[in-house]
Structure 1
Amino acid sequence: MIPFSLLDLVPISSGQTSADALRNMTDLAQNAERWGYNRFWLAEHHNSRGIASSATAVLIGQVLAATRTIRVGSGGIMLPNHAPLVVAEQFGTLATMHPDRVDLGLGRAPGTDMNTMRALRRGMSGADRFPEEVIELMGFLQNPSADQHVRAVPGEGTNVPIWILGSSLFGAQLAGQLGLPYAFASHFAPDALEEAVALYRHRFQPGITQEPRFMLAANVFAADTDAEGMRLRTSMQQGFLNLRKGSPGPLPAPVDDILEVAAEHEAAAVNHALRISAHGSRDSVGRDLRQLIDTYQPDELILTSMIHDHTARLKSFEIAAEILHDMAA
């Protein structure tokens, strides 16, 4: 059985508050550990009324303190928003407090709009320095050289595992060149998936890891029936459509049919972007997950889900875990 993990954006559902979302996050992480998930990752987003994971490192610390064995990390930290030394200090501190449980996934996108990006990191240049900053960050987390004047304390020598996250060929090539594991954002931007994975595996040079390690991201909406799984999915469909229209907000309540709230061409575009998904009853989700694994041959699977009701979301992830355990039996 390949390992399977969970990505949480800490959604704020309509009618709920950030405090509700954060409580749900901790509850989900504790259950994910019990269900056998390998990692629990949190994604960095800013200036969004529907996502409460802006202070990603803080939330990772909370989840680490509330769990015992599951790996916890970022999926990811958007490096353009941060100085590499600050990230090294934050994750080095987490790794010092919770040895061998912390992951650091790094993304190249800002995870927000340009005005918010400027507010996050003033004075930054317009040049794309992501590769150089990844290398700089790696250096801070490794054993320091004798003449190194700037050190991450805590951080140096922790060798926190770094993953490159991406949805394009750029991240795939960089991860391969640096010998780092690679996670593809196929749960919302799958168009370059096949080409990026092939490029990563072809260009991989042994580095931090000796073999390529590819993680596939997929949405899951599992329920007792196909109809209920499809209904749960409509919250994420609506949220994604609202984001594309420039009007993001709290995660909408589900509807019986997405065409009740979206034009046919809008629904088609959203479904195309979210097509790396498994939804429906246990049998349907099992079939979908098996097909995704057979098609893309990932070394690890990471599941995510924007479901409006917390109880239904828990059930969906529990069903998915049972299915993946059964596949290995």
Structure 2
Amino acid sequence: MKPPVPLSVLDLVPVSSGSTAAQALRNTEELARRTEEFGYHRYWLAEHHLNPGVAGTTPALVIQLVARATRTIRVGSGAVQLGHHTPLAVVEQFGLLDALFPGRVDLGLGRSGPPRLPLGARPGAPPPAAPGRHTPEGLYIPPRFTGFARLLDSPRFRLHQALLQQPKAETPDYAEQVDDVLALLAGTYTDGEADARPVPGAGAGVAVWVLGSSGGQSAEVAGERGLPFAANYHVSPGTVLDAVEAYRAAFRPSAALAEPYVLVSADAVVAPDDATARELATGYAPWVRSIRSAEGAIPFPTPEEAAALPWTDEDRELVADRVDTQFVGSPDTVVKGLATLREATGADELLITTITHGHADRVRSYELLARAWAEAG
């Protein structure tokens, strides 16, 4: 195996069953301190809204909590969803973070729009999905998830979209939004008649990233602007290779980056042995089902609660791509799986997200993985 690349953390601030959002935030604060001790490179916070089991709604606020609890680890968003914010608001927030924690802040940008159907596909009809396969390196690439129409058609999704935007507001093109963010950060934004120079924000030493799940617009925007790119294996494993290939094909050197830089996310649960890890991960399938059924992420269940939940073949099909690509097992088992992911994608860095019901189990998972990953090199 090649020497290991850096490992980083993606935290959704999950709420466990029987717990509270306040406790989830305290857990995030401790996990950030501990993962810094374990040697993780960066700590990113996701943006999710109106989910009972996820407290990470506002990355900029939680980043400040994490940055104050740590000293050196990079902190950032994975990602700010630009469909819900204006570029100016984002630059002012992250400019403030940079002023408080200079040289440590990453601004990860997500598109947050509805999935784009392939050319010729009918709205509401799932696009055809290729069968699952293994890459030459042995990484499993499952069939592409085609259930987005179910989410988009749900009353809950429509309500959430309405609440996340001003009435009659229209989200600009994603490429234009990214360009506006870059210009505002550089202090060069103008409409031809007047300039806009946010304070804080203009001149901030924020590292801008683009996050994407497919080979579509996000990958192209990142590549064409010479920005680092985060590809999503843990949520969209069926399209991760398309995403990294499109990014590298579109890449043009920039002042920020001379060569492509790819970070790939992965969901992992590590325990001293495979059986214990599988038990700790029992709640993952019903948790994913709650998201993909438009119910919203449920508080993460205990293994016993998860085992007692009703389950059907339809449920299994709904979550199969996510469950089958989660890395679960002993340190040796998970390190081998992540090494395969790295080889297949050419990742320069891996972003690990781990959710278990017990906070101590989650911390221990990150600790065991960091130790084994370092020893593998």
**TM category, shorter:** over 0.9
In the alignment, structure 1 residue 272 sits paired with structure 2 residue 321: yes
| 1:129 paired to 2:177 | no
Task: Tell me how far apart the structure 2 counterparts of residues 127 and 17 of structure 1 sit (CA, whole Å).
Answer: 33
Residue 52 (structure 1) aligned to one of 52, 55, 72: 55
Structure 2: distance between partners of 1:311 and 1:188: 24
CA–CA distance in structure 1, aligned partners of residues 112 and 84 of structure 2: 9
Cα offset, 1:172, TM superposition: 1.1
The normalised TM-score by structure 1 is: 0.93
Give the superposition deviation at 1:203.
Answer: 1.4
Output one character per residue of 1:29-77: Cα deviation in whole Å (capped at 9) or x when no partner.
0001000000000000111111001122111011111100000000010
Indicate whether 1:119 and 2:156 are aligned: no
Given that residues 81 and 120 in structure 1 are in contact (C-alpha distance below 8 angstroms), is that contact kept between their aligned partners in structure 2? yes
CA contact (8 A) 2:210 2:229 kept: yes
Aligned to 1:37: 40
Query: Comparing 189-198 with 124-133, which one deviates more in the overlay?
Result: 124-133
> Which residue of the other structure, out of 281, 300, 308, is the alignment partner of 2:330?
281
Q: Which amino acid aligns with 2:185?
A: L
Alignment of 1:292 onto 2:341: yes
Say whether 1:187 aligns with 2:234: yes
Conservation of the 8 A alpha-carbon contact between 2:286 and 2:306: no
Q: Is the 8 A contact 1:219 1:274 kept in 2?
A: no
How much does 1:103 deviate? 0.3
Q: Secondary structure at the match of 1:157?
A: coil
The answer on whether the counterparts of 2:189 and 2:197 sit within 8 Å (CA) in structure 1 is no
Q: What corresponds to 1:213 in structure 2?
A: 261
1:229–1:145 distance in 2 versus 1, CA, 3 Å: closer
Give the superposition deviation at 1:250.
1.1
Instruction: Label 1:155 to 1:241 Cα distance change in 2 as closer, same or farther (>3 A).
Output: same
Q: Which moved more, 1:155-164 or 1:64-73?
A: 155-164
Task: Name the CA shift for 1:275/1:236 in 2 (closer, same or farther; >3 Å).
Answer: same
Compare 277-286 and 124-133 and name the one that shifted more.
124-133
Instruction: Give the drift of 1:282.
Output: 1.9
**Which stretch of the first structure deviates more once superposed, 58-67 or 127-136?**
127-136
Q: Which moved more, 1:42-51 or 1:256-265?
A: 256-265
For the pair 1:2 / 2:5, whether they are aligned, the reply is yes
1:101 to 101, 104, 112: 104
Counterparts of 1:257 and 1:25, CA distance in 2: 23
Give the share of equivalent positions with the same residue, in percent.
Answer: 37
| Cα distance between partner residues in 2 of 1:50 and 1:302 | 21
> In the TM superposition, what is the alpha-carbon distance from 1:132 to its structure 2 partner?
0.4
Question: What are the within-5 Å matches in structure 2 for residues 1-329 of structure 1?
Answer: 1-109=4-112, 113-123=157-167, 125-126=169-170, 128-144=172-188, 149-170=195-216, 171-207=218-254, 208-248=256-296, 249-255=298-304, 261-328=310-377
> Match of 2:77, SS?
strand
Report if aligned partners of 2:83, 2:171 keep a CA contact under 8 Å in 1: no
* Larger mean Cα displacement after TM superposition, 248-257 or 308-317: 248-257
Question: Deviation digits for residues 159-206 of structure 1, max 9, x if unmatched?
Answer: 411111111222111111111111012101111111221111111011
2: CA distance, partners of 1:276 / 1:315: 21
Deviation, structure 1 residue 3 = 1.3
Contact 2:183 2:189 (C-alpha < 8 Å) held by counterparts = no
The one-letter code of the counterpart of 1:206 is P
- Shift in alpha-carbon separation, 1:11–1:145, aligned structure 2, 3 A: closer
The 1:274/1:108 distance shift into structure 2, 3 A limit, reads: farther
Q: Give the whole-Å Cα distance in 2 for the aligned partners of 1:310 and 1:145.
A: 44
Q: Is the 8 A contact 2:82 2:111 kept in 1?
A: yes
Structure 1 gap segments, 5+ residues each? none
The verdict on how the C-alpha distance between 1:121 and 1:27 changes in structure 2, with shifts beyond 3 A counting, is: same
Instruction: State the one-letter code of the partner of 2:257.
Output: T
Q: Aligned equivalents of 1:216 and 1:266: distance in 2? A: 27
Distance across 1 between alignment mates of 2:204 and 2:194: 16
Amino acid at match of 2:344: T
TM-score, normalised on structure 2? 0.82
Contact in 2 for aligned 1:189/1:274 (Cα 8 Å): no
**Distance in 1 (alpha carbons) for counterparts of 2:194 and 2:163:** 31
- 8 Å CA contact 1:259–1:267 kept in 2: the answer is no
Secondary structure class of the residue paired with 2:76: strand
The separation in 1 between residues aligned to 2:9 and 2:373, in whole angstroms, is: 13
Equivalent residues of 2:42, 2:75 under 8 A apart: yes
Secondary structure in 2 matching 1:62: helix
The aligned residue for residue 135 of structure 2 is none
| Uncovered stretches (5+) of structure 2, i.e. residues with no partner | 115-155
Q: Offset at 1:256?
A: 9.5
The number of residues matched between the two structures is 328
